Amino acid sequence: MNPELRELAGEYARALENYLVGRGEAALQEAYELGRKTLAKGLGVLDVSTLQHRALLKCLLRARTAKEWSRILTAANKLFVESLLPFEMSHRRVQEVNTALRESEQRYRNLVDTARDVIYTLSLDGKIKSLNPVFETITGWPRAEWIGREFPLLVHPDDLPRAVAFFKAVLDGRVPPTFELRVVTKSGAYVPGEFMATPLMQDAQLVGVLGVARDITDRKRAEEALRHLNEALEEEIKRIAHALHDEAGQLLASVHIGLAEVARELPPHVSRRLEDVRGLLTKIEEQLRHLSHELRPTILDDLGLRPALEFLADGVSRRTGLQILVEGAPGKRLAAPTETALYRIVQEALTNVTKHAQATRVTIRFAREGRVLRCTIRDNGTGFDVLAVQARRGARGLGLIGIQERLNAVGGTLNVISTPGSGAELVISVPAETSGADADSPRR
């Protein structure tokens, strides 16, 4: 018998002696506490049986009559039952916990199996450990065919470096934001997916990656349709701008010539009044020129984004008194849709500042970070509660929805930083894919 059990044996024997001499409930309480102590030490029911057997044997050896034997056996039986109550209660709690665990696992399994997104787990070496049924719906592959295989085999070759980088980041404990990958289907086509991933822990140990992937085919189609719509709108705006600049300009020039001819045939005092009319026409001509440039500045096509934004900033400053600085440079010419989107976003942002911000200064700053061009638009105005604005349906009033839609069409992102009283900052990130032209090269 080990020391722990020997110590408990003495306590159990004393409890039985106390019960036999009439200490009743107090002795039964001792037996109950002894059972709890035995359980806490990691001992089992068989150990309690050993304690019972040794204590009972000692008492029976002292008995003189059959009646005494019977009394000792009855008392020992009650004491034994009392000492086992902690084990019975513990067993019941374990059963309840196991039942709750099974129910929780079933709810989780039902959630995973009926989810509309792919839920997957990866091992530390990048092998697929589990996939829920929607994987088969989206890709056409049987799940069993991919369990145990390396996940890069599912990824489009062009997206593979990004997929591996995000996988390593998750294993390093750096949970990345959502990212997009194309996944091959059984037919050989690729499905665009939006992924989220987090470390998979078990007993405080990293065992792999848990992720969720969503089929964003419909979103990509909508973004493509929006891109085509924006391009069509830009072409229509360009046509209207050119009509204002060229056709209206030519008509006004003809009016100027006509008025000059008429003035030569009139007395001097009448011709001076015509000069006033010509002055008004000149002002109209300037307003039409500015309007056509703001609708679609030819400078954007001819010289690039920064000169176009400097022209825009100059026009807004002269009309509103707002101090606007353009810092940094986009570098080489970006793809035409990207340049147009950034121009329109800055235009919308400046409109918002003049309408809502009560600002006196705006800074537009460009910076390249690898394959990303970052554009920040910062004002010193009143600021606003970003979460409250985004939660309201009225967020459209600040143009944020329109800005985000333009960015979606060119693969960009928007981050809004602001608090009441501290101004606002828009951080815009777009792929820095160039058109192959230098910064000051015109588009043909």
**Model pLDDT for residues 287-341, shown as the tens digit of each residue:** 777 777 667 677 888 888 999 999 889 988 988 999 999 999 888 888 888 998 8
In the predicted model, is pLDDT for residue 49 greater than 70? Answer: yes
**What is the residue extent of each domain of the chain?**
3-111, 115-215, 217-296, 302-444
Handedness of CA 389, 391, 393, 396 (dihedral sign): positive
* Pairwise CA distance, residues 340 & 238, whole Å: 12
- Strands across the sheet with 413-418, in order? 323-327, 361-369, 372-379, 424-431, 413-418
For residue 437, pLDDT over 60 is answered with no
Q: What is the pLDDT of residue 222?
A: 85
DSSP state of 335: P
- Hey, what amino acid is at 123? S
> How high is the pLDDT of residue 394?
46
- 125 confidence band (pLDDT: 50, 70, 90): very high
Rounded alpha-carbon distances, angstroms, from residue 336 to 11, 303, 348, 363, 437: 89, 12, 18, 23, 11
CA distance 217 to 185: 13
435: confidence class by pLDDT, cuts 50, 70, 90: low
- Mean pLDDT lowest among 190-204, 254-268, 322-336: 254-268
Lowest-confidence region among 99-103, 259-263, 388-392: 388-392
Which residue type is seen at 298? T
The predicted structure's pLDDT at residue 141: 93
Long-range contacts of 385-388 (CB under 8 A, 24+ apart): 385/418, 385/419, 385/420, 386/416, 386/417, 386/418, 386/419
Give me the pLDDT at residue 302, please.
Answer: 83
Q: Domain 115-215 is of which CATH architecture? A: 2-Layer Sandwich (3.30)
Q: What is the CATH number of domain 302-444?
A: 3.30.565.10
Architecture of domain 3-111: Orthogonal Bundle (1.10)
The one-character DSSP state at 213 is E
CA distance 24 to 242: 107
Chain centroid to Cα 110, Å, comes to 24
